Structure 1
Amino acid sequence: MRAIVIDDEKPAQLHLERLLRSDGRITPVHCFSTAREGLDFLATERVDVVFLDIGMPEMNGLEAAEYIQQLDNSIRIIFVTAYADHAVEAFELHALDYVLKPVSSARLAKTIDRIAAVTIPVSSPVAATTEVQVSQSGGAGVDIHVPGLLTFKHLDIYRSLNEEAQKHKWRTTKSQELFAFLFHHRGEWVSKEILLDQLWADVSQEKGLTHLHTSVYQIRKLLREWDMTGKLEYNMNRYRLLPGNLVSDVEQFEQGTSYAAITTDHVDQLKDIAALYRGDYLEEHDYRWAQAKARELRRKYIRLVMDLAEWNMNHGRGKEAIEQLSELLEREPYAEDICRLMMNVYASLEDQQAILQLYDSFTQTLLEDLGHQPEPETSRLYENLMAR
Structure 2
Amino acid sequence: MLRAIIVDDEELSVKRLRRILAASREISSCHEFLNPLEAIEFVKANPVDIAFLDISMPEIHGMKLSASLLELDDSLEIVFVTGYDEYAVQAFDMSALDYLLKPVTAERVSRTLHKFRKIQNLPATSPSPSPAAALTVRLFNGLKVFRGENTEPLKLRSPKTEELFAYLICKRVVSREEIIDTLWHGLEPEKAWKNLNSTLYYIRKAIGQSKAGGCIVADRNEIRIDERALDCDLYSFERLLRQYRPLSDKNTEWIREAEALYAGPLLKGKAYEWAGERAHQLEHGFLQLLELAARSCLERGQSRQALYYFNEILKMDTLREDIGYEAIRVLIELGRLNEALRQYQVLAEELQRELGVEPGPHIQELVNGLRP
What range is the shorter-chain TM-score in? 0.5 to 0.7
CA contact (8 A) 1:274 1:304 kept: no
Change over 3 Å in CA distance of 1:282–1:327 after alignment to 2? same
1:254 aligns with 2:213: no
Change over 3 Å in CA distance of 1:200–1:145 after alignment to 2? closer
SS at match of 2:151: strand
CA contact (8 A) 2:142 2:270 kept: yes
Q: Which runs of 5+ in 2 are unaligned?
A: 1-125
Deviation at 1:380, TM superposition (A): 4.7
SS at match of 1:254: helix
SS at match of 2:266: coil
CA contact (8 A) 1:223 1:230 kept: no
Q: Deviations over 1:38-73 (max 9, x none)?
A: xxxxxxxxxxxxxxxxxxxxxxxxxxxxxxxxxxxx
| Whole-Å separation in 1 of the counterparts to 2:186 and 2:157 | 20
| Whole-Å separation in 2 of the counterparts to 1:242 and 1:134 | 10
CA contact (8 A) 1:229 1:244 kept: no
| Whole-Å separation in 2 of the counterparts to 1:335 and 1:271 | 22
Deviation at 1:281, TM superposition (A): 1.4
Which residue in 1 is equivalent to 2:180? 196
Change over 3 Å in CA distance of 1:317–1:145 after alignment to 2? farther
CA contact (8 A) 1:313 1:345 kept: no
Deviation at 1:371, TM superposition (A): 0.8
- 1:286 pairs, out of 264, 268, 271, with 271
- Structure 1 residues 330-345: aligned runs within 5 Å: 330-345=315-330
Change over 3 Å in CA distance of 1:262–1:250 after alignment to 2? farther
Change over 3 Å in CA distance of 1:145–1:351 after alignment to 2? farther
| One-letter amino acid of the structure 2 residue matched with residue 220 of structure 1 | R
1:240 aligns with 2:224: yes
Change over 3 Å in CA distance of 1:211–1:257 after alignment to 2? same
Q: Deviations over 1:205-255 (max 9, x none)?
A: 45433332221112233454499742331224x433333321211111111
1:215 aligns with 2:194: no
1:359 aligns with 2:347: no
- Structure 1 residues 310-325: aligned runs within 5 Å: 310-313=295-298, 315=300, 317-325=302-310
Q: Which runs of 5+ in 1 are unaligned?
A: 1-130, 137-143
Deviation at 1:256, TM superposition (A): 1.0
CA contact (8 A) 1:313 1:321 kept: yes
| Whole-Å separation in 1 of the counterparts to 2:294 and 2:213 | 38
Q: Deviations over 1:3-48 (max 9, x none)?
A: xxxxxxxxxxxxxxxxxxxxxxxxxxxxxxxxxxxxxxxxxxxxxx
CA contact (8 A) 1:231 1:243 kept: no
CA contact (8 A) 2:147 2:207 kept: no
CA contact (8 A) 1:309 1:322 kept: yes
Q: Deviations over 1:244-303 (max 9, x none)?
A: 321211111111122232434441232122221111112221211111211111111111
TM-score, normalization: structure 1? 0.55
Cα RMSD (Å): 3.1
SS at match of 1:267: helix
Change over 3 Å in CA distance of 1:247–1:316 after alignment to 2? same
SS at match of 1:270: helix
- 1:157 pairs, out of 110, 128, 145, with 145
| Whole-Å separation in 1 of the counterparts to 2:240 and 2:167 | 23
| Whole-Å separation in 2 of the counterparts to 1:312 and 1:301 | 17
1:348 aligns with 2:333: yes
| One-letter amino acid of the structure 1 residue matched with residue 161 of structure 2 | S
Aligned residues: 244
CA contact (8 A) 1:147 1:228 kept: no
| One-letter amino acid of the structure 1 residue matched with residue 200 of structure 2 | V
| One-letter amino acid of the structure 1 residue matched with residue 137 of structure 2 | L
| Whole-Å separation in 2 of the counterparts to 1:232 and 1:219 | 12
CA contact (8 A) 2:128 2:213 kept: no
Q: Deviations over 1:92-136 (max 9, x none)?
A: xxxxxxxxxxxxxxxxxxxxxxxxxxxxxxxxxxxxxxx999666
| Whole-Å separation in 2 of the counterparts to 1:203 and 1:302 | 39
TM-score, normalization: structure 2? 0.57
| Whole-Å separation in 2 of the counterparts to 1:158 and 1:382 | 50
| One-letter amino acid of the structure 2 residue matched with residue 213 of structure 1 | N
Which residue in 1 is equivalent to 2:49? none
1:309 aligns with 2:294: yes
| One-letter amino acid of the structure 1 residue matched with residue 354 of structure 2 | D
Q: Deviations over 1:336-362 (max 9, x none)?
A: 122122113212311122222211221
Q: Deviations over 1:176-196 (max 9, x none)?
A: 111111222213x3133x323
SS at match of 1:372: coil
Q: Deviations over 1:70-97 (max 9, x none)?
A: xxxxxxxxxxxxxxxxxxxxxxxxxxxx
| Whole-Å separation in 2 of the counterparts to 1:338 and 1:132 | 50
Which residue in 1 is equivalent to 2:168? 182
CA contact (8 A) 1:153 1:282 kept: yes
- Is the radius of gyration larger for structure 1 or structure 2? 1
SS at match of 1:165: coil
| One-letter amino acid of the structure 2 residue matched with residue 154 of structure 1 | G
